[in-house]
Structure 1
Amino acid sequence: MPASPAPVFAVSDVHGHRDDLVATLRAAGLVDAGERWSGGDAQLYVLGDLLDRGPDGIGVIRLLRGLQAEAPASVHVLLGNHEVLALGMWLHPDEGYLPLWQRNGGLAADQASLTPDDVTWLSNLPAMALVGDDLLVHSDSTAYLGWGRSVGAVNAQVAGMLTRPDPVGVAEVLRGLTQRRRFVGTQGAAQADSMLAAYGGTRVVHGHSIVATLRGVTPGHGALAYAGGKALAIDGGRYNGGPLLLVELSA
């Protein structure tokens, strides 16, 4: 019999809840008691928003960078809007990001603990990934379509915008990734189709918009399949009292 494919897991919007992330990954067998990778050939995708709102965003970055160093073929991190906001604060401090950063739960300790190497790592995080039939992104946004017509082109364009010396690129990426709810309503399935036609796959998997807000209920629910099954929302709203959802996409 052919071997079973390696499982693929996704989690999003950790927002500084490092200990919750560790506990969630341990429960799934992906890290051991020493917080080292134990998932074998399983794949883990973290769909952005590592920082802000929660107690230890820099700890989340350190944890994930360590796991990537141990298992570079297994641990993947995508870019979220809060990473872009942190980059704006670091790279372009005179561009007025402070009020927005404060309103969105920015922590001075996280910002102060970032190193130039962290900034390089954040600046080069991919914006999207295609894994089997799943198109993985942070935001339920169609702004990606303005950045290229293939996964590779989008990732290269976004990295280029974040690393250019002037502030225009960071501002553009931040505007795009803060867009949300493009896959709800009567045109939602068509909007999801536009993403899938450009980049492949049959389902867009995203964080950014809390599942409870998409359902119109209080936090505490699991992942939400919607837009005729063409979108899957996995942000449980941990910073707002909901669960940190680790979803097995291959299940």
Structure 2
Amino acid sequence: MTPEDRFPGPEHPHSGPRHQPDLDVLPYGTYYEPEPATGYQGAPYDAETYSGYGGARYLEQHWPVDGQDHGHTVHAQGTGTDHGPVDQSAVFSHQGQGPGDYEDGYETAGYEGGYDAQDHPGYEPTLPDQPSPALQLADRDDPPTIELGPPLPDPAAPTYPYPAPGPGEPPGPVYVVGDVHGYLDELRAELHHQGLIDADGHWSAGRARIWFLGDFTDRGPDGIGVIDLVMQLAAEAAAAGGYCRALMGNHELLFLGAHKYGDEPVQSTAGTASFLAAWRLNGGQQNDLERLEAHHISWLSRLPAIGLEDGHLLLHSDTTAYLEYGESIPDVNDAVHGVLADGGVDEWWDCFRRFTKRFAFRGDAGPTAVHELLDTYGGSRIVHGHSPIPYLTGAVHADDGQPPHIPGPYVYADDLAVAMDGGVTMEGRLLVARLPI
């Protein structure tokens, strides 16, 4: 029996025209195209802007970009290709909902031009007339049970005899990496282009520092491969006197929740749902879940939610929800780790829901929201992923049907915020950039 036979979803009629975004409320910002780096000899650099799309696939292919909103059949594709079987078919159909994280559809505001929950505190929109069977899975095997344990060292792994930094020697440059979403080949290509890894995929950046902004899995073909690469680079960077670190994104919370809780019901504002249902609706790849091992779980569960590096406040999500978890960076990270270690399914779901909110930094109130976070946690500028740049700028509505042009990170909110999600899942670009921008 195929997954689509096991998990059928109801069909909905055409839902009418989609509400177009009011471009006047979108942020006025600029794209950053990097200049060649100077003064650092740890890696080669190139003056040209890398703009190849790398074959990234628009997974949300059932969402039209011609201004029409159809009854959407959302396919969470199981192979990461256009030809493989899907894990589930389920349907979302309502006014104002745009492509992207489908958890937004029943937990926060609609995408572009819809009601923005960030601007209306206390508002918890729900899907109109959404039947709960679309979010309930039945008649399935239990997800695999994986015991936690320490990472197992690879005896065949090469060693890297890089020298440690000398006393008083300044640290290397800082790089940030936007949402990867399983696009391992694109990640390798961009890291190599930036001179951060060699042709064999090993660390070549000396004492450079890299921060991944979260969302390693879902939608793309090889989320576990992405996690393995980041873990490998973390070890190699440490041996070279640099480091490779990562933040926890909302998709890490979703992926771990799908493994831990499976079909266990949770109470959402749209009715009873489950982590596994939400994960599938958001592009969860069954091959990632099947390859998830104890050392992946242990590493993902310890990722911080916030980081601060050279005056840059690093977040995954463009939301002020972090303020609800503490008044300092350690407090927030400890609170999130506490939820993952000891919280129940509803507390875990609430954490996932809060960090799925977006667009807090756009519009006239955006700079105020940024200042609220900076005044609390420190730093002079926020760098975030989560919200694809094409949705922040409205570039997703290109009339010629071409992929969105993303020349680089997007700076907005009075130059206080830098968006790093280049929209690789929608034929945009996987962004790697050196700070400051």
TM-score, length of structure 1 as denominator length: 0.95
C-alpha distance in 2 between matches for 1:15 and 1:220: 19
C-alpha distance in 1 between matches for 2:347 and 2:302: 13
Larger deviation, residues 80-89 vs 68-77: 68-77
Equivalent of 2:433 in 225, 229, 247: 247
Equivalent of 1:140 in 277, 300, 318: 318
Equivalent of 1:36 in 202, 210, 219: 202
Structure 1: runs of 5+ lacking an equivalent: none
Q: 1:142 to 1:165 in 2, by over 3 A?
A: closer
2:171 and 2:207 in contact (8 A); partners too = no
Query: Structure 1, residues 84-134: CA drift from partner, whole Å, max 9, x if none?
Result: 001111111123122211111000000111112211211110001000111
Largest Rg, 1 or 2: 2
Residue 152 of structure 1, CA deviation? 1.2
Partner of 1:84: 253
Q: What secondary structure does 1:178 align onto? A: coil
C-alpha distance in 2 between matches for 1:205 and 1:119: 26
C-alpha distance in 1 between matches for 2:280 and 2:261: 16
TM-score, length of structure 2 as denominator length: 0.56
Does the alignment pair 1:229 with 2:415? yes
Does the alignment pair 1:125 with 2:303? yes
Higher helix share: 1
Partner of 2:48: none
Aligned counterparts, 1:172-251, within 5 A:
172-218=350-396, 219-221=404-406, 222-250=408-436
Query: Structure 1, residues 168-212: CA drift from partner, whole Å, max 9, x if none?
Result: 332122012100000011111000000000110111100000111
Q: What secondary structure does 2:355 align onto? A: helix
C-alpha distance in 2 between matches for 1:166 and 1:183: 31
Q: 1:246 to 1:195 in 2, by over 3 A?
A: same
Partner of 1:169: 347
Query: Structure 1, residues 120-157: CA drift from partner, whole Å, max 9, x if none?
Result: 21111000100011100100011100111111111111
Aligned counterparts, 1:18-167, within 5 A:
18-72=184-238, 73-93=242-262, 94-95=264-265, 96-164=274-342, 166-167=344-345
CA RMSD of aligned residues (A): 1.7
C-alpha distance in 2 between matches for 1:35 and 1:175: 35
Larger deviation, residues 164-173 vs 24-33: 164-173
Larger deviation, residues 117-126 vs 42-51: 117-126
2:176 and 2:213 in contact (8 A); partners too = yes
Q: Which amino acid aligns with 2:245?
A: H
Q: Which amino acid aligns with 1:248?
A: R
1:205 and 1:231 in contact (8 A); partners too = yes
Q: 1:153 to 1:165 in 2, by over 3 A?
A: closer
Moved over 6 A (4+): 1-4
Q: Which amino acid aligns with 1:224?
A: Y
Q: Which amino acid aligns with 2:415?
A: G
Identity percentage over the alignment?
43
2:385 and 2:421 in contact (8 A); partners too = yes
Residue 58 of structure 1, CA deviation? 0.6
- Number of matched pairs: 251
Q: What secondary structure does 1:55 align onto? A: coil
C-alpha distance in 2 between matches for 1:207 and 1:60: 16
Structure 2: runs of 5+ lacking an equivalent: 1-38, 40-167, 266-273, 397-403
Q: Which amino acid aligns with 1:220?
A: H
C-alpha distance in 2 between matches for 1:43 and 1:88: 30
C-alpha distance in 2 between matches for 1:11 and 1:172: 26
Q: 1:213 to 1:75 in 2, by over 3 A?
A: same
Q: Which amino acid aligns with 1:124?
A: R
